[in-house]
Amino acid sequence: MSSPGASRYRGPRGRDLALRLLGFAALVVIAMLFVGPFVWQVIVSLSSLADVDRVANLGVPPSLHPQNYTRVFETINFAGYLYNSVFVAAFVTFLQVVTSAMAAFAFSRLQWPGRDKVFLLYLATMMVPGVVLMVPNFAVIVSLGLFNSYAGLIIPAAFSAYGTFLLRQFMLTIPSSLDEAALIDGASQARVFLDVVMPLTRPGLIVLTIFTFLGNYNSFFWPLILVKDDHLRTLPIGLLSFDSTYGSDTPALMAASLMAMIPPTILFIALQRYLVKGIQLGAVKG
Amino acid sequence: MAIGSPRRRLLVAAAFLLPNLLGFVAFTAGPLFGSLWMSFTDLSLTKHNEYSQTPVQFVAFANYAAILSGAESERFWSYLGNTLYLMIGIPLGIAGSLGLALLITAKLTPTRPASRLKLAAVAAAIGVCATLAVWILTSPEVVSADDATITSAYADLSAYEVARLRGLAATLAMALVSGLAVAGVAFGSVFFRTAFYLPSLLAGVPMFLLWKTLYRPEGGLVNATLRPVVDVAFEMGQIIPQVAWQGTAIGLWLAVGVVVVRGLVAGVQKLMERDAGAAAFIARIFMLGTLAAVALGLGVVCWELPAHAAASISDGRSGFDTPEWLVSATWAKPALVIMGVWLGVGGANMLLYIAGLSNIPPELYEAADIDGAAGWQRFVNVTWPQLAPTTFFIVIMSTIGGLQGGFEQALIMTGGLYDTTVLTYYIYNLAFTDQFQLGMASAVAWVMFAMIFAMTLVNYRLGNGMTNE
């Protein structure tokens, strides 16, 4: 993070050092506030059922019970839920990135009558609360016979005005002289899209991929109303039913929720420099 | 670059656009109109399905009338009230995001890799020593075999065992703090940014289940941490005379009053002198409002503390109770607000502020230095006005998000009990649980949409004034 201004002022050396130490200590304490609940989650997930109520007073459980983790897999179809979540999120992400990239190309690179009007329409719908669309989409999916199916989970989420907008912003930063040169050399628009624009939009594609994947991995409302069968449940819905059926088994519940948090955490830490850019770029909307 | 006839260009564009446009029409634009139409009908899956073929009735504004002043109005207004209540965390969260962004961009750790590594090694050495010290200091000694059998509050654990476990926990905590400090030195701001961002990244069902256990009245981490604080507060409420507390409260309120009035006067002056932009003025009001709210809250706590301590004694209790959080009518909503602040404070808003801070021209700070401004003055006169567009954007986006939010946590953590049902939850109940009243649910959704739309309009108006500055 470069903030040239924020630390330019330097007071007397000793006072400055003390202030910096104080600031750093504050950062560590705050980090503790953010990390603490996760540590507690690990501790509870390793406690026995009998120790759950007193582990907060003792600090650590008297004995460790890693079998809570295996119990998760025995009581609920955790692996199945995880598979569904990853499968649906990955499928949605793939469709959304491909269709958004193509549409963004049409909105940023091609000249055609009515382009800006259609784009304005896209922009206007970004403000619509998702819940407004939830009810009619549900009615449509039910009437198409896709209720309680993978297709019903995937298809309505596979197109996004936001993704189109985000990729268009990225594509607008690519100098148009590049594709003009390719066109003069006789390349088709499809070639320009695949060989010139797409490679240069890579950071944007990565950002949209992570956003969409994480968003769908956490997706709750739509799977909640659309899925009835246990074998189609995604992780959030599976965990919800775990809580309402075996809610008293707190250690297993914490073990399951901890395991559910691991994939997005890894994804985020691995790709965070792209994400941070994307969030800051996405702020242009609104 | 335009190539080919308009017709051909339209065809090429259509080929690229079509997959997305089809989905857009089918699942966004189409349903938008479908939803509007539904909101004017009595559509309900219990009445209109494959078994009962009654035609759907067009009821004009009957649904809207029912929501705003008819049969549903009591629920609607109370759920709207709940939604607005849960939004009081937004200003606190935004202030927190700014605070975190300031700390992160303050370059508190060295940036050169060599010195960073050196300092990290020093920090690691200190951390190991501190952890060992805690371990040695907290390890209980077994003097004789009898000591090991002294019973504790727990039937199956000896006092020695309890002391050993608590010592272990303290050692672990020290190790954790040391680890965070070492990582903070080694990776610098990136580490803290990541740590602060994680909660908002993971906000979802697993996170709400975690917070549900954190909030357990007995055996939850929140109350276990709060217990000593509450005990100290009780002791202080007893020892320090009432006059001192109430004096402090009055002092706080007076200070707030002076600051607010001065800030407002300065803001109005700025606005009158030259067109300084509505955003800067609103940003100022926002900052003052947040400060005032925090100070007022502290003042109320100070004012009430001694009386509560006295009442607690006369009740026959010897201290304050910790809150029951999610299973109490008083604390359920504050619990959700606190969790919301924890979840959101290090999220996208913090990243936006970090970007905003790094975009402030250094010349402004140099000019402030020459004018002799430092610390708070620099912040009020340079940083905060420069961040006004960012703050403005964040306030609007958070408000829009807040109006729509709160469904997941309420469903999972409280089941909507204790006045935690929000508008989205209401729509869910109407459409997908009770009567499958799709028409009524759509009408509520459109009322919500109208509120959001109005807010966005205000955003554009003020936003335009801001960019013309």
Domain ranges, residue B245:
229-322
Based on the fold, state whether residues B267 and B387 are members of the same structural domain.
Answer: no
Q: Are residues B291 and B340 in the same domain?
A: no
- Say what the alpha-carbon torsion angle B431, B433, B437, B442 is, to the nearest 10 degrees: -10
Residue pair B234/B312 in contact (Cβ under 8 Å)? The answer is yes
Rounded mean pLDDT of B373-401?
82
The mean pLDDT of chain B is 85
Q: Which residues of A touch B176 (CB under 8 A)?
A: 32, 35, 39
How would residue B467 be classed by pLDDT, with cut points 50, 70 and 90?
A: very low
Contacts of A51 (CB under 8 A, 6+ apart): A58, A61, A62, A63
The number of folded domains in chain B is 2
Residue A2 banded pLDDT, cuts 50, 70, 90? very low
Token pair, residue B275, equals 């067109």
* pLDDT for A110: 84
ipTM of the complex: 0.88
Residue B124 lies in a domain: no
Q: What is the predicted pLDDT for the residue at A284? A: 43
- Same domain? B315 vs B428: no
Provide the percentage of residues in chain A whose pLDDT is more than 90: 35
Q: Which of residues 439-458 of B touch A (CB under 8 A)?
A: 441-442, 445-446, 448-449, 452-453, 456
Asked whether the beta carbons of residue A6 and residue B105 sit closer than 8 angstroms, the reply is yes
Residue A3: pLDDT band (50, 70, 90) is very low
Q: Do A161 and B24 touch (CB under 8 A)?
A: yes
Q: Which of A114, A193, A117, A204 is nearest to A165 (CA)?
A: A204
What average pLDDT score do residues A86-107 get?
Answer: 93
pLDDT of residue A13: 64
pLDDT tens-digit readout, B65-96:
888 998 888 999 999 999 999 998 888 899 99
* B201-259 per-position pLDDT tens digit: 899 999 999 999 999 988 889 998 888 888 888 888 888 888 888 898 999 889 888 88
pLDDT of residue B460: 63
Does the pLDDT at position A93 exceed 90? Answer: yes
**Partner-chain residue, chosen from A38, A115, A156, that has the shortest CB–CB distance to B27:** A156
Per the CB < 8 A criterion, the answer to whether B79 and B424 are in contact is no
Is the same domain home to B330 and B469? Answer: yes
Place of tokens 């050196």: B118
| B384 and B332 together in one domain | yes
Chain B residue at shortest CA distance from A176: B1
Among A258, A215, A262, A81, residue whose Cα is nearest residue B206: A258
- CB contacts of B106 in chain A (<8 Å) are 3, 6-7, 20, 23
Cβ-based contacts of A137 with chain B (< 8 Å): 27, 31
| Cα atoms in the 13 Å half-sphere on the side-chain side of A26 | 15
Average pLDDT over residues B460-469: 54
Chain B residues 44-63 with a CB less than 8 Å from chain A: none
Worst-scoring range by mean pLDDT, B25-34, B299-308, B371-380? B371-380
What pLDDT, on a 0 to 100 scale, did the predictor assign at position B391? Answer: 84
Question: What residues of chain B lie within 8 A of the CB of A57, using their CB?
Answer: 219, 224
Model pLDDT, residue B463: 59
Question: Would B114 be classed as within a structural domain?
Answer: no
Residue B362: inside a domain, yes or no? yes
Q: Identify the residue among B8, B198, B205 best suited for mutation to test binding to A, counting A beta carbons within 10 A and taking the highest.
A: B205
Average pLDDT over residues A262-271: 89
Burial B84-112 (b: 16+ CB within 10 A, else e): ebbbbbbbbbbbbbbebbbbbbbbbbeee
From chain A, the residues in CB contact with B161 under 8 A are 62
Domain boundary among B306, B322, B338: B322
B465 CB-near residues (< 8 Å, 6+ apart)? B275, B277, B278, B279
Over residues B411-415, the mean pLDDT reads 91
Contact B221 A36 (CB under 8 A): yes
Q: Is the pLDDT higher at A33 or at B435?
A: A33
Task: Summarize pLDDT for A32-69 with one digit per residue, the tens.
Answer: 999 999 999 999 999 988 888 888 888 888 888 999 99
Q: Per the domain annotation, does B376 fall within a domain?
A: yes
Q: Which residue has the higher pLDDT, B379 or B458?
A: B379
Whether A163 has a pLDDT exceeding 80, the answer reads yes
Residue B350 and residue B396 in one domain:
yes
| CA nearest to A225, candidates B132, B441, B19 | B441
Nearest residue of A to residue B32, measured between CA atoms:
A133
Instruction: Reply yes or no on whether the pLDDT at A253 is more than 80.
Output: yes
What is chain A's mean pLDDT, rounded? 85
Q: What is the DSSP string of A76-97?
A: S-HHHHHHHHHHHHHHHHHHHH
- Model confidence pLDDT, tens digit, residues A187-207: 888 888 888 888 888 888 888
Average pLDDT of the residues in B278-282: 67
- B206/A261 CB distance under 8 A: yes
User: What is the pLDDT at residue B146?
Assistant: 58
Kindly report the nearest CA distance between residue A233 and chain B, in angstroms: 13
Q: In this structure, what token pair is assigned to residue A243?
A: 């809580």
Best of A2, A3, A174 to disrupt the B interface (most B CBs within 10 Å) is A3
Same domain, B441 and B362: yes
User: Residue A28's pLDDT is what?
Assistant: 94
Separation in Å, CA of B388 to nearest CA in chain A: 14
Of A177-186, B20-29, B205-214, the range with the highest mean pLDDT is B205-214
Name residues 357-376 of chain B within 8 A of A (Cβ).
357-358, 360-362, 364-366, 369, 374
**How sure is the predictor about B50, in pLDDT bands with cuts at 50, 70 and 90?**
low
Backbone angles phi, psi at B41, to 5 degrees: -125, 170
Residues of A in contact with B22 (CB under 8 A): 159
Q: Is residue B78 part of a domain?
A: yes
B161 part of a folded domain: no
pLDDT at B147: 58
- Of the three residues B281, B298, B322, the one that is the final residue of a domain is B322
pLDDT higher than 50, residue B29: yes
Q: Could you tell me the domains of chain A?
A: 4-65 (no CATH), 69-282 (1.10.3720.10)
Task: Give yes or no for residue A285 having a pLDDT over 70.
Answer: no
B439 and B387 belong to one structural domain: yes
- Of B290, B322, B354, the last residue of a domain is B322
Q: What is the pLDDT at residue B227?
A: 87
**Contact between A24 and B362 using a beta-carbon 8 Å cutoff:** no
- Say whether pLDDT at B446 is over 90: yes
Does some domain include residue B262?
A: yes
Q: Are residues B374 and B436 in the same domain?
A: yes
Nearest to B162 among A58, A129, A283 (CB): A58
Q: Assess whether B255 and B359 both reside in one domain.
A: no
The CATH code of the domain that includes B402 is: 1.10.3720.10
pTM of the model: 0.88
Domain presence at residue B86: yes
pLDDT for residue A286: 29
Does residue B287 register a pLDDT over 50? yes
Q: To probe the interface with A, which of B111, B119, B185, B209 has the most A CB atoms within 10 Å?
A: B209
Query: Would the CB atoms of B210 and A256 count as touching at under 8 Å?
Result: no
pLDDT at A282: 57
Does the pLDDT of residue A23 top 50, yes or no?
A: yes
Q: What is the pLDDT of residues B140-180, one digit of tens each?
A: 876 665 555 666 667 777 788 888 888 999 999 999 999 99
In whole angstroms, give the CA distance from residue A192 to residue B16.
Answer: 12
DSSP state of B428: H
Task: Please check whether residues B329 and B468 belong to one and the same domain.
Answer: yes
Residue of B nearest to A259 (CA): B206
Verify that B266 and B379 share a domain, yes or no: no
